[in-house]
Amino acid sequence: MAEKARVGVLISGRGSNMTALLYASRQPDCPYEIVLVAANDPDALGLKVAAAEGIATFGLGHKGMKRADYDRILDEQLRGAGVQYIALAGHMRLLSAEFVGKWEGRMVNIHPSLLPLYKGLDTHARALEAGDTVGGCSVHLVTVELDSGPVLGQMEVAVLVDDTAETLAARVLIAEHQLYPRVLAELVTRDATPEALLGKLREIALALPAAEEKLSHGTPAFAVAGGKMFGYFSDDHHGNGITALLVKTSGPEEQAMLIEAEPDFYFRPAYLGPSGWIGLRLDQGGVDWDHVGEWLLKSWRMAAPRKLADVI
Ligand code: GAR
């Protein structure tokens, strides 16, 4: 099995969804692991649970801090722990647009309603007030607008005639604990298929000026129109079990330095390695696509004719 995706969970209190994600991660074949639990309240009960379970924790109160400053510190903590995906689990503090942008596509939230119904707070009371016969919960990708990102999964919960907001919330919570681990597992698995990885690479590479896709020895590759190659997609090349992007470095020195610094991410590819190309592993769970994009641009610059390269 491929490396497990590294998940950071953000909580504000009890953390029962975090706990459900954690115990699910310990089931055989779960494709993710929890590597950090962070809370905007250092006394959050969930932090104690995580610490007792041997998970790294980070608690920092947000009162009196500027949102941007808080989010920068949080981002550093998450990256420092090698987090690839963020799961918001009862996290009641708004995140800045900048933070959300950095983690777009890799940050999910659980919300106690059948979205798009009842965004925000008091979801169960509002469902009862409206006379709904079913409530439920949703897991969605986080975008800048609150509770409005693409829904990845939902679970319905029947409403009982004598339900109160509290009794309904308690049953929805049980549903949340079933739904969240499954949807998170699906997301990290879906993102890691070679088809999904190639799709994402295409999107970035073909957005570069005069970029075109070619087939090179049967594998998809990217070239500057009429010119040189700047990227190769490599999937299980000669049965090496690796899915990667090959890009150009400035030469053997840079290549060796990078591999030494991050041997889990960079490798020296067969055939193209001696000419200074380097492999970036895409099969290690949650890929940092901004970073991959920077590499594609750098490689494109080396492949593009001067006149074109000077444009961007
Ligand atoms: C959960 O019901 C979650 O869906 C909800 O807070 C509760 C947290 O419980 N989240 C929201 O309302 C987000 N807008 P937990 O701390 O025990 O997981």
Q: Which long-range contacts (CB under 8 A, 24 or more apart) does 148-153 make?
A: 148/115, 148/116, 148/119, 149/109, 151/115, 152/108, 152/183, 152/186, 152/187, 153/179, 153/182, 153/183, 153/186
If one residue of 10, 17, 166 were mutated to test the ligand 1 pocket, choosing by the most ligand atoms within 8 A of its CB, it would be 17
Q: Are 36 and 8 in contact (CB under 8 A)?
A: yes
Any idea what DSSP says for residue 237? G
Active-site positions read: 111
- Centre of ligand 1 to C-alpha 96, Å, is 20
What domains can be seen in the chain, in order of their start residue?
5-190 (3.40.50.170), 194-309 (3.90.1150.30)
Q: Are 112 and 139 in contact (CB under 8 A)?
A: no
Convert the pLDDT of each residue in 5-31 to its tens digit.
999 999 999 999 999 999 999 999 999
Q: Which residues, in sequence order, are CB contacts of 242 under 8 Å at separation 6+?
A: 234, 236, 267, 279, 281, 283
Contact 50 CB / ligand 1 (< 6 Å): no
Helix orientation angle between 16-25 and 45-52, rounded to the nearest 10 degrees: 20
Contact 135 CB / ligand 1 (< 6 Å): no
* Residue 2: predicted pLDDT: 59
Q: What is the CA radius of gyration of the chain?
A: 22
- Centre of ligand 1 to C-alpha 95, Å, is 16
What DSSP element (H or E) covers 166?
Answer: helix 165-191
Q: Are 59 and 38 in contact (CB under 8 A)?
A: yes
* Residue 1: predicted pLDDT: 46
Convert the pLDDT of each residue in 111-167 to its tens digit.
999 999 999 999 999 999 999 999 999 999 999 999 999 999 999 999 999 999 999
Convert the pLDDT of each residue in 258-303 to its tens digit.
999 999 999 999 999 999 999 999 988 768 888 999 999 999 999 9
Contact 171 CB / ligand 1 (< 6 Å): no
Amino acid at 27: Q
- Centre of ligand 1 to C-alpha 188, Å, is 22
Contact 279 CB / ligand 1 (< 6 Å): no
Phi, psi of 29 (to 5 degrees): 70, 10
